[in-house]
Structure 1
């Protein structure tokens, strides 16, 4: 049910060394070709579309049988959001822990699931998995996405597990890149962010050109260069993101979509602070050796065949080569925690990871009478080098600590049948997904091998009912799988494949033509939930857990100029078994309130967003009193306010300049969370107040 905007592969690019001047040259050639092209051929509207989610439009979302929120272009780019994570805060059930302010390492969680490294979400770009290892390394420790290249964010919290797996317990988030326009268009923008506390400057330069260059061929190029410092010391960051995509309409029945992307990042990481250092100066850094380097080359190719309005066959293929390394200091002589930010590092470790991943997925959609059947299969192969090296700072000696090799072969089969009843007002979709995952692991240094085989049958059922023209009801129940991860399987601890049942019951109501509301009751029953224990430096099995609550949304077009939005999430989590039975889960605030307003008059736009999160716990033991090194303790509540004002200047009939001034974290709330990845102990400050000046030229 989704058009090419979701099914189209993500974009592509050139190496970091490619100069922007060369990109402009390519753009000139593309524009010249486009000038010779005739108007693009308009294809017939399809009755059957192969993707389950459909277009991320207001009408599609209204009749989707699950909780779903779409962040549209105006909200994404004109809200004053600091980065992609910041833009997602207003979605019900979403929690964001921002450790960098630059968007390079997102920490996004849904419904009380662990947000660190966004490891509990199926994250997609234009419908393709973005995890560096879709089965073996689901944490997003390399995020080849920048805000400027994204057009829309589709956050699906329920009902999609059969068609998009694995690792969909928290839902599916699809980042939709900018579509290729019909006519040749260009965008040039510059954004400068200035941190109030330190005066650090971070720039974001973006260029895009695209359109049909012949009647049948559409091309697009995007280049995004980011650089400067975040709001803290030791935060120098450099990002290069180049993307090219193409759509070729062979004839009325056959279409090819292809893309290439090159992404590279080189960044210092300020890491966590001890409680004492945080109170003294939250912009400081006690982790001088922490850094991050990564690059990824991605490619996708899809063929779509539509013999008639009732049949669609799509064959999608994707591959990437990714190389990412964290550098981090370690204290291995004092006897305390190796990552204590107040300690002096005796060693510096680096953890290079090399990933070679490819996948292929044919899918057939057929409509026959009241039935719409989707049949799909996917094969994914992952080849991973997972190493750690360590340098002794006292004598400069260097040794290899770990050399792990992992190969994963995963086969997924899925099928669903949507029964359309009562003249299409009632749709019932039973479905099932089968996952078969084999992971072959080798510890080269210790000369040991092991194999982990997983196979799971994952059923699902969704129901959508248009009770009236203004009331849509939905319910769904689906089972999800998270395979054992390489980092879990090779550490001490009781780990297992994770499975969970997700349930939703909800309604969307158009109270008036100008006021729309939605309410969703949700529940997640988790078996063998695995979390990392920072103090013990190991993964632990929390056993059975439960997440349940309610999500409310309302959007009101108060006047032709003023639109308002309001959201609220109540979340209750509980560990049901083990030593911590009865405790809340970590990083799972009970209350989340969001509000936003947009006012337009003449050529001016003003946006205001407010997000409040209640307090919570940082560990499974629900430690209230903060430990001396900040590894555990209660998390404070916080409120983040962003504001932006902008104006359009019409320079000519087809040229528009938008200039905007924004402020993020307007109240300068000193929010923090506790530890992430290579700096797991201490307080991690979230970005303080910053100001942004933006200019965007479209022509």
Structure 2
């Protein structure tokens, strides 16, 4: 049966039967500290449905045999987070690398995995795939603005097997606000240095919510600026008893002046971190998405959810250089850059367009049944398809938008998934076994020479988790699961249509943790983890070459701590000084074998057993000290520290001149924010500073040196009505 026929049949069978819930409402910040992991929804067995969330109610969160955490809307607003990067660093285990300075393309890694393009992380929005090609090309060149979301959930460990296809490191689920029943709205305006402006309007009522965002600002380097618009509509419609329909649609537009290449070491030394001669490089993106979810509470203990989703994404990145060693403008141009001489890219009469179109669609029914008194079953399946069209156009002027076609590829992916987990509860203890099966079919067509090839793979992904509650305030949890990450279409099929002997990324992942709330106002979650890779696929295929695809064995071992103290709750005072800490210790992130190139079977330069994997800092820490006043004042000071890391397999202590290799020193960035909410609760004003002391530091060497964002001071006002 064809994939389209499969969709039609599944939709006919399931569209009347699914169950999905609107997002749980956010809680007041003082109550948030009291509820484990800040969640709010109904307990198992009730008719309140919460399939947009991957963590669930406070009761369900405590029962999860995995580490997890939530950032809610009150925290995001009080901290006035500037980017998704800043927000995610507030949670342990997550290494987020800046890129252009505005957080438009966050590079997210979890528990030591390379953060480049977020390829090893599963990104969801309201429980549905966010990435434009999670099976065939899980690279993140698009990410919604942080302002769109009311809640961010992070789930790691064995419970991630309910989601896929990426099950190695973790799941990040971004949740949009629940449409209100009464007419209400928000208007927020802010602006500041670096030509920054942000306008955000939201209005809703009668189960509908409209959201519009306009942003612009300068990036981290010269000749870098971006402007975006983001529009979102969401509706929740009550049907007959026990049924509900949720509809979502969004549209994103980005017009940026931003280059791909970083700096050489000599350019960085001679001209400073903001230097960027590529003033004609542009990035334009359009993304539209929609979903329809029908939820059905069949009984008090059985809930069925079906979601249909569709997205299309197109981006055109025109540039004159992709890396510091790119010879697009000639070898002399490259050599001058490495020597630290000023260059004029316009003199080379070359501009290349990397043009991409992606279409993604699928259907996913999910059944949840509470059986017996305490046992709980979750099962479902997914049918998913992706289509990619990739063009490379080589122009002959510095502002060309036409030219010779150097690449014309069509890449197709079909994926069929089935999953089941059952939680068996025995008093204070519970055991949760699970199984996920992924079947993926790949096809690649080279439209320049007519070459075509296809291949497929099938993988079972088992999991097992246990929990034990004791002393009324603590939960001990442990889990083991097989990690799975499928290869990209371009990795498993060559441009001539030949199938490559490349299996999926494979690991064994272990967790042991303890979470609890020993006293009112104090909560913590401490986790130890081991990720052993029998086969890790190293990040490859950086544009313009230079980074070969390679596989090898690796091991990651470490610990995480998330803790919060609210002195106001502890001392029963309306004044609430508070302290939050997110810390990750990764003493081992080492290759266990040399990483071998897939194309020719030779070891990657510098790779050897015992050497630390690239972009795996040993220490990550975010500490937040704040004070919430009962009359509406909230002030906080935050330090975000990213430890030393290496940019290459050889762990080179010194750079090689290209800017792409060498040690990246650790850096601490300070952020501050203060908000005053007027007694009417309708108006609030704020001022915030990001990188308060304007520290200069390096965040990436993948394509040459990229600097962290410079200081941004911005302030604004917001008005709410209901």
TM-score normalized by the length of structure 1: 0.87
Q: Over aligned residues, Cα RMSD in angstroms?
A: 2.6
For 1:660-679, list aligned pairs within 5 A: 660-675=686-701
Q: Distance in 2 between matches of 1:543 and 1:362?
A: 36
Secondary structure of 2:138's partner?
coil
Match of 1:15 in 2: none
**Structure-2 change in CA distance of 1:142 and 1:466 (3 Å):** same
Match of 1:201 in 2: 195
Of stretches 43-52 and 434-443 in structure 1, the one that deviates more from structure 2 is: 43-52
Match of 1:686 in 2: 708
Of stretches 496-505 and 447-456 in structure 1, the one that deviates more from structure 2 is: 496-505
Match of 2:328 in 1: 332
Q: Distance in 2 between matches of 1:336 and 1:484?
A: 36
User: How far off is 1:288 after superposition?
Assistant: 2.6
User: How far off is 1:47 after superposition?
Assistant: 5.7
User: How far off is 1:508 after superposition?
Assistant: 0.7
Q: Distance in 2 between matches of 1:253 and 1:58?
A: 23
Of stretches 483-492 and 575-584 in structure 1, the one that deviates more from structure 2 is: 483-492
Out of 531, 537, 540, the position equivalent to 1:529 is: 537
Q: Distance in 1 between matches of 2:316 and 2:24?
A: 31
Match of 1:594 in 2: 622
Q: Distance in 2 between matches of 1:338 and 1:542?
A: 30
Instruction: Give the conservation status (yes or no) of the 8 Å contact 1:328–1:348.
Output: yes
Instruction: Give the conservation status (yes or no) of the 8 Å contact 1:48–1:312.
Output: no
Q: Distance in 2 between matches of 1:452 and 1:43?
A: 44
Instruction: Give the conservation status (yes or no) of the 8 Å contact 1:78–1:644.
Output: yes
> Deviations 1:280-327 (Å, cap 9, x if unpaired)?
322221333332111111010011111211111111110011111222
Of stretches 101-110 and 480-489 in structure 1, the one that deviates more from structure 2 is: 480-489
2:388 is the alignment partner of 1:373: no
Q: Distance in 2 between matches of 1:255 and 1:58?
A: 23
Q: Distance in 2 between matches of 1:182 and 1:464?
A: 38
Q: Distance in 1 between matches of 2:185 and 2:566?
A: 31
2:132 is the alignment partner of 1:124: no
User: How far off is 1:269 after superposition?
Assistant: 1.1
Instruction: Give the conservation status (yes or no) of the 8 Å contact 1:322–1:355.
Output: yes
Secondary structure of 2:74's partner?
helix
2:519 is the alignment partner of 1:512: yes
Out of 646, 668, 672, the position equivalent to 1:617 is: 646
User: How far off is 1:507 after superposition?
Assistant: 0.4
User: How far off is 1:505 after superposition?
Assistant: 0.6
User: How far off is 1:132 after superposition?
Assistant: 1.1
Match of 2:38 in 1: none
Instruction: Give the conservation status (yes or no) of the 8 Å contact 1:80–1:663.
Output: no
User: How far off is 1:394 after superposition?
Assistant: 8.4
User: How far off is 1:3 after superposition?
Assistant: 7.1
Instruction: Give the conservation status (yes or no) of the 8 Å contact 2:513–2:526.
Output: yes
For 1:66-85, list aligned pairs within 5 A: 66-85=66-85
Instruction: Give the conservation status (yes or no) of the 8 Å contact 1:413–1:434.
Output: yes
Instruction: Give the conservation status (yes or no) of the 8 Å contact 1:495–1:541.
Output: no
Match of 2:459 in 1: 456
Q: Distance in 1 between matches of 2:689 and 2:409?
A: 45
Secondary structure of 1:61's partner?
helix
Match of 2:408 in 1: 403
Out of 564, 567, 572, the position equivalent to 2:579 is: 564
Compare the two structures and name the one with the higher strand fraction: 1
**Structure-2 change in CA distance of 1:74 and 1:48 (3 Å):** closer
User: How far off is 1:634 after superposition?
Assistant: 0.3
Q: Distance in 2 between matches of 1:468 and 1:452?
A: 53
Q: Distance in 2 between matches of 1:162 and 1:171?
A: 10
**Structure-2 change in CA distance of 1:44 and 1:427 (3 Å):** closer
> Deviations 1:436-483 (Å, cap 9, x if unpaired)?
000111111132111121110000111122122111011111112211
Secondary structure of 2:364's partner?
strand
User: How far off is 1:5 after superposition?
Assistant: 4.2
Instruction: Give the conservation status (yes or no) of the 8 Å contact 2:93–2:584.
Output: yes
> Deviations 1:339-393 (Å, cap 9, x if unpaired)?
9686654421111111111100112222221432222010011111111111133
Q: Distance in 1 between matches of 2:211 and 2:398?
A: 46
Out of 551, 555, 561, the position equivalent to 1:552 is: 561
For 1:54-65, list aligned pairs within 5 A: 60-65=60-65
Match of 1:140 in 2: 140
Q: How many residues align?
A: 645
**Structure-2 change in CA distance of 1:477 and 1:686 (3 Å):** same
> Deviations 1:232-255 (Å, cap 9, x if unpaired)?
321221101111111111022211
Q: Distance in 2 between matches of 1:5 and 1:286?
A: 48
Instruction: Give the conservation status (yes or no) of the 8 Å contact 2:50–2:56.
Output: no
**Structure-2 change in CA distance of 1:334 and 1:647 (3 Å):** same
Match of 2:675 in 1: 646
Q: Distance in 1 between matches of 2:398 and 2:223?
A: 23
**Structure-2 change in CA distance of 1:176 and 1:406 (3 Å):** same
Q: Distance in 2 between matches of 1:411 and 1:120?
A: 20
Match of 2:16 in 1: none
Secondary structure of 1:117's partner?
helix
Match of 1:355 in 2: 358
**Structure-2 change in CA distance of 1:250 and 1:413 (3 Å):** same
Out of 305, 309, 334, the position equivalent to 1:314 is: 305
**Structure-2 change in CA distance of 1:405 and 1:131 (3 Å):** same
**Structure-2 change in CA distance of 1:273 and 1:181 (3 Å):** same
Q: Distance in 2 between matches of 1:61 and 1:96?
A: 25
User: How far off is 1:488 after superposition?
Assistant: 2.8
**Structure-2 change in CA distance of 1:362 and 1:418 (3 Å):** same
**Structure-2 change in CA distance of 1:412 and 1:337 (3 Å):** farther
Match of 2:592 in 1: 576
Secondary structure of 2:617's partner?
coil
Out of 240, 244, 255, the position equivalent to 1:266 is: 255
Match of 2:6 in 1: none
Q: Distance in 1 between matches of 2:199 and 2:50?
A: 36
Secondary structure of 2:112's partner?
coil
Match of 1:499 in 2: 506
Q: Distance in 2 between matches of 1:348 and 1:76?
A: 40
Q: Distance in 2 between matches of 1:659 and 1:631?
A: 43
Secondary structure of 1:74's partner?
helix
TM-score normalized by the length of structure 2: 0.85
Q: Distance in 2 between matches of 1:56 and 1:606?
A: 30
Out of 262, 265, 268, the position equivalent to 1:275 is: 265
Instruction: Give the conservation status (yes or no) of the 8 Å contact 1:96–1:115.
Output: yes
Return 5+ residue gaps in structure 1 as ranges.
9-41, 195-199, 213-217
> Deviations 1:147-169 (Å, cap 9, x if unpaired)?
22211111112233321001131
Instruction: Give the conservation status (yes or no) of the 8 Å contact 2:22–2:52.
Output: no
**Structure-2 change in CA distance of 1:43 and 1:504 (3 Å):** closer
Instruction: Give the conservation status (yes or no) of the 8 Å contact 2:395–2:404.
Output: yes
Out of 405, 420, 425, the position equivalent to 1:420 is: 425
Instruction: Give the conservation status (yes or no) of the 8 Å contact 1:233–1:284.
Output: yes
Q: Distance in 1 between matches of 2:638 and 2:56?
A: 22
Instruction: Give the conservation status (yes or no) of the 8 Å contact 1:50–1:314.
Output: no
Secondary structure of 2:75's partner?
helix
Secondary structure of 1:160's partner?
helix
> Deviations 1:81-101 (Å, cap 9, x if unpaired)?
221111111211111111122
